[in-house]
Amino acid sequence: ARATTGQQIAIEDSMRAMDKINTAAGSILIVDTDQRHAERIKNYLSPEHAVDILLQPADAVFQVTGASYELALVAMALTDFDPLRVCSQIRTLEHTRNLPIILIADEADKPKVVRALDLGVNDYISRPVERNELAARVRTQLRRQRYALELRQSVNNTMALAVTDDMTGLYNRRYFDRHLGVMLGKAQSQERDMALMILDIDHFKAVNDTYGHDIGDAVLKEFAARLKRNIRGVDLACRFGGEEFVVLMPDTDFGQAELVAERVRQSIAERSFEVNAGRPLSVTVSAGVTLNESAADTPESLIKRADVALYRAKREGRNRVVF
């Protein structure tokens, strides 16, 4: 058997995805005031495409905004309406900005076509429309559009990977380190409160030793999910390493920090973890919390103080919060 690396599998997967992209049918809007023309274009298109006809060009922007079209075919010879206006409106709106547009133009429309291409129209086809040419140009635009979308998504995914921890989806240590300095600087220059909490799961080694590493991993995931549910959107939660987590809480004073830390601790202890095939598993966590106290604080001094507090929480019996 051929040895297949993970990378090869990833490449083959993405090639299969691209094949699908190339051949999948699209959802297309035809904008034309002449119903007979519009119907003929529709008949020329492969029946797999979902095609809508719009005879009121004034409603075109409304129509493309409300539905998820992948392509617009706009007739140049619209009566009582400037097709260039349709095109520029589509290009102006945030969520239709990338919609591909193909113009259908008579020979006499050529000067306008040039201006339309300047406006960002993607392609044009001249009348009389030839079936194969139409099919080819439609396919090209759909393919380009889907490649671009795929690329944008994979760039976003890659960027998310660089700042998050794979297992828990929380921010990673590197991201946290970069933001702690910035957020501390802001808190100090604006004289605002900021709290830092370090959490360490209690006797986690025993979980691994008793149930195995996979169950341990499942505990970490569930722990991260509960942690996230019990902090605010502005708080920055990160996997600091292993079974240690840190949460940075901007604009948070002593009382609020105490509340959040207690809520997180309880959310772990109060309900067992269902990660061991029906046999519930009890988990607890200890937390050390500290506040930004003075202009002399540095990221290191904050972490150090929270760590000392955490150590005390462990020594005093675990499953508790210490400041």
Rounded Cα gap, residues 265 and 287, in angstroms: 8
Report the residue number, 51 or 310, with the smaller CB distance to Mg ion. Answer: 310
Q: Write the binding mask 40 to 69 for ligand GH3: x where contact by CB under 6 A, - elsewhere.
A: ------------------------------
Report the residue number, 213 or 271, with the smaller CB distance to ligand GH3. Answer: 213
Q: Cβ(145)–Cβ(70) under 8 Å? A: yes
Q: Phi, psi (5° rounding) for residue 201? A: -65, 140
Query: Shortest Cβ distance from residue 171 to Mg ion (Å)?
Result: 18
Report the residue number, 54 or 275, with the smaller CB distance to ligand GH3. Answer: 275
Footprint on residues 207-236 left by ligand GH3 (CB under 6 A): 208, 213, 216-217, 220
What the block records as the tokens of 12 is: 């083959």
CA 46 to chain centre: 33
Sheet strands (E) in the chain: 27-31, 50-54, 71-75, 101-105, 123-126, 194-201, 236-241, 244-250, 285-291, 321-322
204 binds ligand GH3 (CB under 6 A): yes
Question: Cα angle at 147 between 131 and 69, to 5 degrees?
Answer: 60
165 binds ligand GH3 (CB under 6 A): no
274 catalytic, yes or no?
A: no
Residue 217 binds: one of Mg ion, ligand GH3, none (C-beta under 5 to 8 A by kind): ligand GH3
Residue 213 binds: one of Mg ion, ligand GH3, none (C-beta under 5 to 8 A by kind): ligand GH3
Cis peptide before 128 (omega within 30 of 0): yes
Catalytic residue, from 107, 243, 262, 274: name it.
Answer: 243
251 binds ligand GH3 (CB under 6 A): no
Instruction: Identify which of 104, 151, 139, 260 has the alpha carbon closest to the alpha carbon of residue 196.
Output: 260
Residue 310 DSSP one-character state: H
Question: Closest-CB residue for ligand GH3?
Answer: 216
16 binds ligand GH3 (CB under 6 A): no
Catalytic residues: 243
Contacts with ligand GH3, residue ranges (CB under 6 A): 200-205, 208, 213, 216-217, 220, 242-243, 314, 318
